[in-house]
Structure 1
Amino acid sequence: MTNESDRNFQIEVQRLHKLTVYGRWLTVILLWISVGSLSIWSLRREIDLWLENFTLAAVRYGLYFHRWPSLGLVLCLGMTLAVLTWHRRNNIVRGLPQGQKQRLEKQVRRIRQQGPSHPLWKWVCKNSQ
């Protein structure tokens, strides 16, 4: 029976990891939809100028004198690159690091202990019990 329990536990850890991945990508998508689109909209006149005559001076001018839209784009790009790097490290290069595995296992134990009142219960422990 413990072998079945261990297999269920590992499945739950994998589900939690998958939810973490989806959550990070959802955050990136929502960030691009909200902050990214507003930043691009604020820079629309500069983008027209860049499309007409693309020079580094025009790009520098557009980004330097429109700091809030520039910061919004930097935030979106930074978050996207951070999630890509995290995802690549976890899945392609070395697999899940031991520290992150332990953190996920601890979180699954907490979800199991709290039971159905935990917000992630139905996604993590749905068919295991």
Structure 2
Amino acid sequence: MENSDTTFTQQVQKLHQLTVYGRWLFVSCLWLTIGSVSLWDIREEIALWKQYFTWSALRYGLYFHPLATFGLSFCIGMTASVLIWQSRNILIGLPPQEKERLEKQVCQIRKQGKTHPLWKWICE
């Protein structure tokens, strides 16, 4: 029974680790797609900011490029949310609801067996 509990706990930890990797992969893909297109759209303003940076120049540069501003805001917001989520999990630990959700998902993976896409990363 004890071996089963330690195995289950390890599988829950593996699933949590995969969740962390998945979130950072998502953020990386956002920066490589939306972030790079947004930065490319405001490249002329960035060149001006390098020479003469003022908060007014930043404000008007972002104001006159609303799609780039939205894209950068979305990338920065998602990065900040993943950082805060991971920091909370490291400092305080997983909340009970999150732990329960992970445990239910591991049970579902075990129940479905080798046909589940995460089986080889969680159970083997």
TM over 0.5: yes
Extract unaligned runs of 5+ from structure 2.
none
Q: Distance in 1 between matches of 2:21 and 2:86?
A: 11
Q: Distance in 2 between matches of 1:14 and 1:125?
A: 11
In structure 2, the partner of 1:23 is 22
Deviations 1:13-49 (A, max 9, x none): 0000000000000011111111111100110001111
In structure 1, the partner of 2:103 is 105
In structure 1, the partner of 2:113 is 115
- How far the C-alpha of 1:89 sits from its partner, in A, is 0.3
State the percentage of identical aligned residues.
Answer: 56
Query: How many equivalent residue pairs?
Result: 124
TM alignment of 1:1-129, pairs within 5 A: 2-92=1-91, 94-126=92-124
- How far the C-alpha of 1:53 sits from its partner, in A, is 1.1
Extract unaligned runs of 5+ from structure 1.
none
After TM superposition, the score normalised by the length of structure 1 is 0.94
After TM superposition, the score normalised by the length of structure 2 is 0.98
Q: Distance in 2 between matches of 1:14 and 1:38?
A: 36
- The DSSP-based 3-state class of the residue aligned with 1:9 is helix
